[in-house]
Copies of this chain bind each other. A is one copy, B any other.
C-alpha cells in the first residue's frame, strides 16, 4: 500500500510505470487508458484511473511533449508588458488557455521585430502555437512564420494568418463624426509607432472620413506609444492649430492630457481629445477620456479559441478572421468647439 503522497516528501514522482506495476498492465496500456480512453477496455481503464488517482499521478509534460510533439504551451507575444492594453488581452487569453489546459508563456518582444522572430524561432519546438498581439513583423515574415508554427494574430491582418481584429477603423467614423457634430473642423490625428499595423489602419480610416466630409485632417507623429510621448505629441497637436485630435491609443492620449494640463490648455474647451481602446485608466483620468471602447479581453479569448480549434483537427473549421466591433464612449475630454 503506497503511503499517501504529501507535498514536500522527497519521493520520486509517480510515472505511468508505477501505475502499470500497480495494476498489472503494460505502461502502454496506461498511456492509452489515460489519453485515448476508447482504446482500452472500460474495466481496465477504470482500474487504471483509480490507481492513477490513488497514486496522485501527474503526467510529465516534457516527456509527453518529447514523444508526441505536443507541448501544451501557447506563447502570447506582446510588444510591451507594461502597456495596459495587453492586460486585457492577457486576461482573455489566460482564461481560455487555462480552461483548455494549456500553459501560457508570456513573451515581451520589446517592440522589436527581430527579437520577436528570434524568440519565436527558438521556442518553436516548445510551443503548440502562438498568439501575436501587436506584431512588428513585416507581412511576409509573418506569413512565413505561420508555416512553421500555428499562429493567430490580434489586430493584424495578413493573408493566410488567422486573426482577431478589433475594428477600431470602423469606429474612427463615429469618433470623427462625433467631433464634427461638435463643430470641429480642424482635427489632427496623432500617429502611433511607425511600423504599427493598427496605426496605419486607423489613419486610413480617419482619412476616409475626412474625405467624406470634405475636410482635411492633419497627421502628427509618429510617436512611440507610451505616456511619455504625450508631451511631444501634445505640443505637435497644438502647433497645428487643430481644435480636436484623435489619438492612436489611450496611453498616448493620457500622456497628451497630462501635457495639456501643464501647458494650461483646457480640455475640452481649447482642445478635444479622443483616444482608442478604452484601457484601464481612461475612465478616471482627468478629464475622463472620450474613446473608442474596444473589446480587448474578448479579442484575447477569440484569438485563443481560433488557435485551439486550429490545433484540434477534429474541431470544426473556424473562420480565418474575426472582426470585433468597437463603440464610441463619450466622456469629458470632448466638447463643442469654442468660438474664436
Interface residues of A (CB under 8 A from B): 6-8, 10, 13, 58, 60-63, 65-66, 71, 73, 81-82, 84, 87-88, 90-91, 94-95, 98, 103-108, 117, 121-126, 141, 144-148, 254, 257-258, 280-281, 284-286
A135 nearest CB across to chain B (Å): 14
- Is the CB–CB distance between B284 and A257 below 8 Å? yes
- Is the CB–CB distance between B66 and A63 below 8 Å? yes
List 16 additional contacts besides A8-B146, A58-B122, A60-B125; criterion CB under 8 Å.
A7-B141, A7-B144, A7-B147, A8-B144, A8-B147, A10-B147, A13-B124, A73-B105, A81-B87, A82-B88, A90-B106, A94-B108, A98-B108, A258-B284, A284-B285, A284-B286
B87, B104, B117, B148: the one contacting A105 at CB < 8 Å is B104
Would you mind naming 16 contact pairs between A and B with Cβ atoms under 8 Å apart?
A: A8-B146, A8-B148, A13-B125, A60-B125, A61-B123, A62-B126, A63-B66, A66-B66, A98-B108, A104-B105, A104-B106, A105-B105, A105-B106, A254-B284, A258-B284, A286-B286
- Is the CB–CB distance between B61 and A125 below 8 Å? yes
- Is the CB–CB distance between B81 and A84 below 8 Å? no
* Copies of this chain per assembly: 2
A120 nearest CB across to chain B (Å): 9
- Is the CB–CB distance between B285 and A7 below 8 Å? no
Q: Is the interface of A mostly helix, strand, loop or mixed?
A: helix
Q: Which residues of B contact A284 (CB under 8 A)?
A: 254, 257-258, 281, 285-286
Contact A121/B82 with A62-B65, A281-B280 known, Cβ cut-off 8 Å: no
- Is the CB–CB distance between B90 and A58 below 8 Å? no
Question: CA–CA, A122 to B66, complex, Å?
Answer: 18
Q: Which residues of B contact A13 (CB under 8 A)?
A: 124-125
- Is the CB–CB distance between A71 and B82 below 8 Å? no
Question: CA–CA, A71 to B72, complex, Å?
Answer: 14
A113 nearest CB across to chain B (Å): 13
- Is the CB–CB distance between A94 and B71 below 8 Å? no
- Is the CB–CB distance between B7 and A148 below 8 Å? yes
Q: Which residues of B contact A121 (CB under 8 A)?
A: 7, 58
A325 nearest CB across to chain B (Å): 22
Question: CA–CA, A34 to B266, complex, Å?
Answer: 62
Q: Which residues of B contact A147 (CB under 8 A)?
A: 7-8, 10
Question: CA–CA, A148 to B61, complex, Å?
Answer: 17
